[in-house]
């Protein structure tokens, strides 16, 4: 069961009464709520949107390394890949400009 709570006053828009899922990991969107609202003759009553300012990920470990170490290593790897991509993009642009 997914518990919900009304958004706090700071989270609510002034013309709206919003509800927020307390545990987003426990909720899987399936459209059932929207379909039920339409069935009740209230299309558009419910709108479900994902938050775009955060994400959830889970780290599993065999305890050989801590979750913190795994995340830090992953971030270092990602950072190195971004640097490599940036360097290659710069080289490609320079080569195209030289033509």
**pTM here?**
0.44
**What whole-number distance in Å separates Cα of residue 29 and Cα of residue 22?**
14
Helix (H) or strand (E) holding 67: helix 67-98
User: Per DSSP, what are the bridge partners of residue 19?
Assistant: 6
Taking a C-beta distance cutoff of 8 angstroms, is the pair 34, 44 a contact? no
List, for residues 42-72, the tens digit of each pLDDT value.
888 877 777 777 777 778 888 899 888 999 9
- Point out which residues pair with 20 in neighbouring strands: 5
């Amino acid at each position: 069961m997914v518990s919900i709570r009304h958004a706090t006053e700071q989270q609510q828009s002034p013309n709206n009464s919003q509800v927020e899922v307390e545990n987003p990991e426990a909720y899987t969107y399936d459209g059932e709520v929207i379909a039920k609202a339409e069935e009740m003759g209230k299309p558009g009553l419910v709108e479900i949107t994902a938050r775009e300012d955060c994400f959830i990920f889970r780290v599993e470990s065999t305890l050989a390394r801590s979750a913190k170490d795994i995340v830090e290593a992953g971030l270092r790897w990602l950072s190195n890949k971004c640097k490599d991509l940036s360097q290659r993009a710069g080289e490609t642009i320079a080569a195209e400009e030289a033509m």
